[in-house]
Structure 1
Amino acid sequence: MGFPGFPWDFRIPMGLPEFPWDWQSWQSADSPLDLMPLTPLEEHLKRIFGKAFNSESLNTNTPFGQLGGTSLDAMRALALIRQEICAKVDAGLLFANPSIRQLAQAIEPLLVTDNNFSVTTTAPQWVQENQDHLMPSLCIEALGIILLICQWLFPNWLVFHFNALIILLVVPIFHLSLYVICQRLLLQLGEATNNAERLYSWYYYRWWFLNSLWSTNNSYWSKHLFGTPFYNSYLRLCGAKIECHAHIYTTLIDAPWLLEVGDSSFIDEAVVLSNLSYQDQTYQLHRICIGSYCSINTRSVLYEDVIIKDNVYVKPMSAITGIITASKDQIFIKERSFSLRQSLFQSACLLYAHVEDDVKFAEFHQIVRFPSNLLYIERGVTTFGGVILASFKMTKEGLYCLDEIHLGSNTNLGNGCTIMPATRLPLKIIVGSLTLVTRKTANVENNCVLLGIPARKMPFQVPDDISAANDLLSSDSVSICTMLFTCLCFFISKYILVTLYLLLPTATALFIHAILCCAVYYCWTSFIKKTLTIHTYRS
């Protein structure tokens, strides 16, 4: 598919915009500039564009649009330029200088100011640096994986060895304490580095092991402590600076010891606190500082050096970096805790949900956690993985807002979409992946597709036969076959496990059990991916 006026060839993916090329600045291939010798920077750029465009003979004065590349090739070349030459080069600079020689002249001042590149460097040295890639340490990673497996098997071994099931009650405490102990042994409390460290170094593997412990242990057990003083106290044990009355509902934290949260601040579910950033062959850890009386709404991402001042309101699914200050019209609310009346109301909301027939949930816990009398789901609704039904949200005034969510018949919620309170979706609505639906989307019509943050109506409609397809998928024969297959797999797996633990020693049985679980999981996920790929190609 081609676009009129697009300066590149016809091999352009659908949906990419036109780029503002300066046609008047293009040089002819027969220009006398071709006889000029190439600088080391121009030679490096020529190799990069040759790799991106799959061409060995490139003219440094020929515009990129005449070299046979596509917009995706340009993006590939831009990524290589950022990795190997200068991180400050952006797409605007690339399209404003549409030849290798012009681009080299535009990049050269950036290299001088950054002092991160020497234009006198020879080409062979660049080639040697590019080929000198860091390699991960297989021994260290294997040792770390073995330690992670052992810390899960050790409590089970104690139970079988001492025949005391009461030990299982202290497993959460053991796993939560293990992270704190390992952190004290591997790191100095509050340690932070603003300097870039090399990947796969000792410092990197310290963070890698702690992050693996956090994701396997703490991300599960800590969910039961969300929004309580116990979770705040545990984060303080991990080195975080958490003030009083803070409400934190996320475990997506790269480095808890680099986190600072002020008094009465609110961090909603699935907020990503990304302390880690990668740059070529280095990494860097950053502090994240959140002031007092702030509201960070669901699925927002805070990355690199973040300093959020007091009384800042962050909308859902926002990306935040740098220094953020409150707007002038921000209303100051000092009391941010749930009242007794609000707590009783939320407890009473766990009854009388309205869910009709033929409703399919990819993750049922989202429905269970939602205040049920505020949830109205009609027939044929389907939800995919990662869907969040926000039971409440924080307003700019610092108040908790609870409202009903109404999902119309034959509505499909895509992967990772977020449905905010007071949302009412009509019939046959498809919500795309990573889409934010708010109460402002209430006026959409039937049979439409919503995409974006926030959701916007797309210029195409849902097919009329979607209900027939849903009826076919939900037929009784398919349901009975699925139930029988599930029961058969359940009994076979239980028979194998019981036989395994009866015939073999406990340690050997645990080891084989872990291997079987990993093998079954790998085979099942591979089968699902293959099935989805075949279905995608056929459709």
Structure 2
Amino acid sequence: RLWNNNTFWLQHILGTPLYNYYLRLCGARISPNTHIYTTSIDAPGLLEIDDGSWIANETYLNCLYFNDDNTFKLSPIRVGSNCSIGTRSILFDGVDMQNNIIVQPMSSVTGFVASETIVDSEEHKSRPSDISIVQSNRSLSICHQIYQIIVIISIICIHCILLTLVYKVDSVRQIPLPISIAFCWTLWSIIGCFISLLLLKFVVGPCTAGEIYPIASWLYLQKIWLRQLIVSSFHHAWLLPTGYDYLYPYVLRWLGAHIEENVKLAQIDTFLSCPTNLLKIETGVTAFGGVLIVPTELTLSGDHRVDQIMVGSHTNLANGCSIMPGSCLASETMIGNLTRISRETKSKSGVFTNMSAVCSK
């Protein structure tokens, strides 16, 4: 419960050495050059991650496993060096991953995984012999780390100034406490939304389709890491609008997205977390809760590629589905719950469920 309460604050240091130090204090054996973007860790003391590995957001590291006889079993999770684990993957029931392994998003991993393996869903595939994987350097320089610390401090200062401003405005006139609390929350949310949009548009800026960012690069920190930090830090401000708010399409259009009429979005966070100028959503699209627009896809060298995402007219994105960069969905398509869509998914009108989308490659 304490870990869950700290999740909001921990999101400010994800992907930084500060988070690695925090996990070490919790008992984990984490290499200094590891990049971890998830807080879904149930037993940090049983976690071991070697140098240069990257773990995406919403990845579950489950050392606590529930047996059929109503007992729990604690099993360690070990991740070797230069491994890349995609978003919404699950590592459970004892994991021993060797080196240079790529785990595609929404995959499950358990047991031993040999080096230079590509894990896709529950399938383990060896790296093709005719493809040479050259891992890029994933070590952040001192300048990169200083930049991250300065940005985090700046975000905290923005929140402090914002809270001070709200307090000053509220103290001008004495009003009953319940009304004062509601007024302060509303004012903070409105100003927070505007600040986050200004930062996303003028500080983070647009991305170019097909561009590749090494993890230890300034472009990755600016275009990917900083975007995630801004969206997560101002997450509560965006709780003021209700689900499927009519303002969401206008906000995304202002950030450069191509959004047509009658588009309904349950949540805006996931769309703000990806390069919005690469989004093209046609008329009549509905995105339900829990939809994840994955901002980048992994290359064989462990770098991150951004690309355009196109959603055809009158398409429904069901709860918990994940849309990868390069996806192109035809009109009148229904994406089922917990389904992963990527550039390899054959796009045609119809229904994609969890297995059909992954297997139709």
**1:219 aligned to 2:44?**
no
Provide closer, same or farther for how the CA distance between residues 282 and 341 of structure 1 changes in structure 2, counting only shifts above 3 A.
closer
CA distance in structure 2 between the partners assigned to 1:260 and 1:435 by the alignment: 29
CA displacement 1:188-219 (0-9 Å, x = unmatched): xxxxxxxxxxxxxxxxxxxxxxxx2212x122
**1:239 aligned to 2:143?**
no
Specify which structure has the higher proportion of strand: 2
**1:422 aligned to 2:300?**
no
Percent identity of equivalent pairs: 43
CA distance in structure 1 between the partners assigned to 2:85 and 2:300 by the alignment: 11
Unaligned runs of 5+ in 2: 117-126, 139-214, 229-251
Contact 1:450 1:457 in 2 (8 A): no
- Alignment counterpart, residue 309 of structure 1, candidates 95, 98, 102: 98
Contact 1:274 1:301 in 2 (8 A): yes
- Alignment counterpart, residue 133 of structure 2, candidates 331, 342, 349: 331
Q: What residue number does 2:218 align with? A: 340
State the Cα distance separating 1:220 from its structure 2 match: 2.3
Contact 2:227 2:273 in 1 (8 A): no
Q: What residue number does 1:262 align with? A: 50
State the Cα distance separating 1:445 from its structure 2 match: 2.3
Letter in 2 for 1:398: G
CA distance in structure 1 between the partners assigned to 2:85 and 2:334 by the alignment: 27
Contact 1:311 1:332 in 2 (8 A): no
DSSP 3-state at the match of 1:306:
strand
**1:411 aligned to 2:199?**
no
DSSP 3-state at the match of 2:10:
helix
- Alignment counterpart, residue 384 of structure 1, candidates 288, 291, 294: 288
Provide closer, same or farther for how the CA distance between residues 392 and 229 of structure 1 changes in structure 2, counting only shifts above 3 A.
same
Provide closer, same or farther for how the CA distance between residues 295 and 396 of structure 1 changes in structure 2, counting only shifts above 3 A.
same
State the Cα distance separating 1:410 from its structure 2 match: 1.3
DSSP 3-state at the match of 2:3:
helix
**1:21-170 mapped onto 2 (5 Å cutoff):** none
CA distance in structure 2 between the partners assigned to 1:219 and 1:374 by the alignment: 29
Specify which structure has the higher proportion of helix: 1
**1:400 aligned to 2:304?**
yes
RMSD over aligned Cα, in angstroms? Answer: 2.3
**1:273-284 mapped onto 2 (5 Å cutoff):** 273-279=61-67, 280-284=69-73
Q: What residue number does 1:93 align with? A: none
Q: Which has the higher contact order (CA 8 A, sep 6+)?
A: 2
State the Cα distance separating 1:298 from its structure 2 match: 1.3
**1:290 aligned to 2:65?**
no
CA distance in structure 2 between the partners assigned to 1:325 and 1:402 by the alignment: 28
Provide closer, same or farther for how the CA distance between residues 401 and 454 of structure 1 changes in structure 2, counting only shifts above 3 A.
farther
Contact 2:339 2:358 in 1 (8 A): no
Provide closer, same or farther for how the CA distance between residues 348 and 306 of structure 1 changes in structure 2, counting only shifts above 3 A.
closer
**1:346-365 mapped onto 2 (5 Å cutoff):** 346=224, 351-365=255-269
Provide closer, same or farther for how the CA distance between residues 408 and 240 of structure 1 changes in structure 2, counting only shifts above 3 A.
same
DSSP 3-state at the match of 1:253:
coil
State the Cα distance separating 1:370 from its structure 2 match: 1.4
CA distance in structure 2 between the partners assigned to 1:423 and 1:394 by the alignment: 14
Letter in 2 for 1:369: S
Provide closer, same or farther for how the CA distance between residues 255 and 457 of structure 1 changes in structure 2, counting only shifts above 3 A.
closer
State the Cα distance separating 1:377 from its structure 2 match: 1.5
Letter in 2 for 1:340: W
CA displacement 1:250-292 (0-9 Å, x = unmatched): 1111111111111110101211111111221321211111011
State the Cα distance separating 1:342 from its structure 2 match: 3.8
Q: What residue number does 1:516 align with? A: none
State the Cα distance separating 1:456 from its structure 2 match: 6.2
CA displacement 1:165-195 (0-9 Å, x = unmatched): xxxxxxxxxxxxxxxxxxxxxxxxxxxxxxx
CA distance in structure 2 between the partners assigned to 1:414 and 1:341 by the alignment: 32
DSSP 3-state at the match of 2:9:
helix
Q: What residue number does 1:44 align with? A: none
DSSP 3-state at the match of 1:303:
strand
DSSP 3-state at the match of 1:224:
helix
Contact 2:328 2:347 in 1 (8 A): no
Contact 1:313 1:326 in 2 (8 A): no
DSSP 3-state at the match of 1:305:
strand
Q: What residue number does 1:431 align with? A: 335
**1:156-235 mapped onto 2 (5 Å cutoff):** 212-215=1-4, 217-235=5-23
Q: Which stretch of structure 1 is more off in the superposition, 275-284 or 386-395?
A: 275-284
Contact 1:317 1:453 in 2 (8 A): no
Letter in 2 for 1:455: A
CA distance in structure 2 between the partners assigned to 1:457 and 1:357 by the alignment: 32
TM-score (normalizing by structure 2): 0.63
CA distance in structure 1 between the partners assigned to 2:340 and 2:323 by the alignment: 6
- Alignment counterpart, residue 450 of structure 1, candidates 345, 349, 352: 352
Whichever of the two has the greater Rg, that structure is 1
CA distance in structure 1 between the partners assigned to 2:106 and 2:32 by the alignment: 26
State the Cα distance separating 1:457 from its structure 2 match: 9.2
Contact 2:292 2:322 in 1 (8 A): yes
Q: What residue number does 1:464 align with? A: none
**1:503-522 mapped onto 2 (5 Å cutoff):** none
**1:375 aligned to 2:282?**
no
Unaligned runs of 5+ in 1: 1-211, 459-539
Q: What residue number does 1:271 align with? A: 59
Q: What residue number does 2:173 align with? A: none
Letter in 1 for 2:79: I
Contact 1:286 1:304 in 2 (8 A): yes
Show structure 1 runs of 4+ deviating over 4 A.
Answer: 344-350
Contact 2:327 2:341 in 1 (8 A): yes
DSSP 3-state at the match of 1:440:
coil
Contact 1:218 1:251 in 2 (8 A): no
Contact 1:240 1:260 in 2 (8 A): yes
CA distance in structure 1 between the partners assigned to 2:24 and 2:13 by the alignment: 14
